[in-house]
Amino acid sequence: MPQHRLQSAPLQVILLVALNAVFLCFPLSALVAQSAPTPASNISPDRISSPILRNITPNTTVEYLIRLVNGDIITGKIVEILSSEVIAKELQKKTDKTANQEAERAVEGEAIRLETALGTLTIFAAEIVELLPRKQFYRHNHRLYIMPTAEPISGNAFIGLWELLFAYAGVGITDYVSVTAGRSLVPGILPSEQATLVNLKVTPYVTELDGSGSRFFTCIGGNVALINEGNIFGHIYAGATFKGVRTSITGHIFFKANEPNTYTIRGGNLFSFSTTYPQGTFGLGLGLDSRLSDHHDLHFIGELWNADILRPSNSALLVGLRLCNTSISMDFGVAIVPQPLAVPFVSFAWTPF
């Protein structure tokens, strides 16, 4: 959520305090190296018995992520689906009969040939737990902790909880439009004093940078936030994300587009203070999402942002880890603001569909 655009440093501190208070290398024993074939299948789709392969079409342009029964993960392009009869015939040609017997015992149903950076491998269907297009495996790349990336939500939808006290949700409309909205649920604060946020992001341009899958995204957007019913914050922003094999880097520039310039923020008996945030203020944000080593389920997440480029003290740094799978992400980290003050925070999101 791009909530970091909503306030200057005092407001950042108070809100953070208030909210806080209230999957390395895979074993080759089950894989048989092959020469790279052309995309094909010697078995018709209606004869495929394995449910996990039933809807797969060999393709040299779509990269898949495969999780094996032992927990290891492999990425590559499926170039062929093999029937058990074809596998048995290929194994009979081997001279190592002991290895053939062990491999034959592993054959249950069909297999795939996967083109990877290590060569083309044969993987038995019985050893596959999960098989997804790679772009569907990590469906949390449209956001960091608070700030959005330039990547779209696309065909996904999610619900989340930030700091256990701010509920939010988002949905993608095609590959271009992303809408996110949320509202705080702080106990002891009246509904009229809660915070509400609506964000609209458009991703108009995406380009492939090289054959490794690196891509470049751009976005434009705007958001409106209410902190107490009378305090309205409006922003417009533009950003870009470079997405590499393991790491994504995002940069944003945002502009406060509305008046007033002075705000009084109340939160029941918890806090009450005044802060300034003039119309026309420019801010900057920088974010990092990096998958750790070869563990596809663990990411380092970082954000550095400034609410007013003329005031370096109006800045905050957020760092932490994201544990995730295809549906759920759990973020744990710490926010550091200039006072100095370090505030731990957590965020959970569920992308069920």
Assigned CATH topology for domain 32-134: SH3 type barrels. (2.30.30)
Superfamily of domain 3-23+138-350: monomeric porin ompg (2.40.160.40)
The confidence score (pLDDT) of residue 271 equals 86
Helix (H) or strand (E) holding 349: strand 341-350
The rounded distance, in Å, linking the Cα atoms of 264 and 272 is: 7
Q: Using omega within 30 degrees of 0 as the cis cutoff, is the peptide bond preceding 260 cis?
A: yes
What are the average pLDDT values for consecutive 10-residue runs of the chain, which has 353 residues? 40 39 29 41 63 78 81 82 74 59 57 84 86 79 94 94 95 96 93 95 91 85 93 96 91 95 89 91 96 80 94 93 91 89 93 85
The rounded distance, in Å, linking the Cα atoms of 301 and 319 is: 6
The confidence score (pLDDT) of residue 157 equals 95
Q: How far is CA 121 from its chain centroid?
A: 28
Residue 148, strand partner residues: 143
Where along the chain do its domains lie? 3-23+138-350, 32-134
The confidence score (pLDDT) of residue 45 equals 59
The confidence score (pLDDT) of residue 325 equals 84
pTM of the model: 0.71
**How far is residue 171 from each of residues 206, 312, 334, measured CA to CA in Å?**
19, 34, 27
